[in-house]
Structure 1
């Protein structure tokens, strides 16, 4: 978690979900506060038991397993061109995902 916060842009948002294995979470919250960053936790445990959520997840997994989900990829960049990828994402108004490959 701390490494993810260190990589987060000023004013950025970090969404973290699950902690199925339990364990202690040690995070210094001064850095995100000083950098106007947002942390949002998602815990599916209690939410997942809701029939509407459970059904939606079942449908999504079945759709993915059937190969019926198409992801629109706008452009791919080599990982070493990460700066160009970020610039493209911020300025070009891409239609679809931007992929960085190793």
Structure 2
């Protein structure tokens, strides 16, 4: 059984590393991409994306409460139907 070819272990790591360790130059500062960096006007789509998805806090609270109480009903057939509908091509 061959376990390795050539030098291995810490000696090999030091040999491969060479003199470059600790002598790297600082990384150049990268400007932020997007409308702010280029000075362009943000589009309505970009503004909506920056706001994030709308969240119905009342609905989230109601679902959390139902789950905690053990009264949240899961309709597996409805979920399966929607998953299949997403995969079917539209005509």
The normalised TM-score by structure 1 is: 0.23
Greater helix content: 2
TM-score by length of 2: 0.25
Structure number with greater Rg is 2
Q: Whose RCO is larger (CA < 8 A, sep 6+)? A: 1
Give the strand-richer structure, 1 or 2. 1
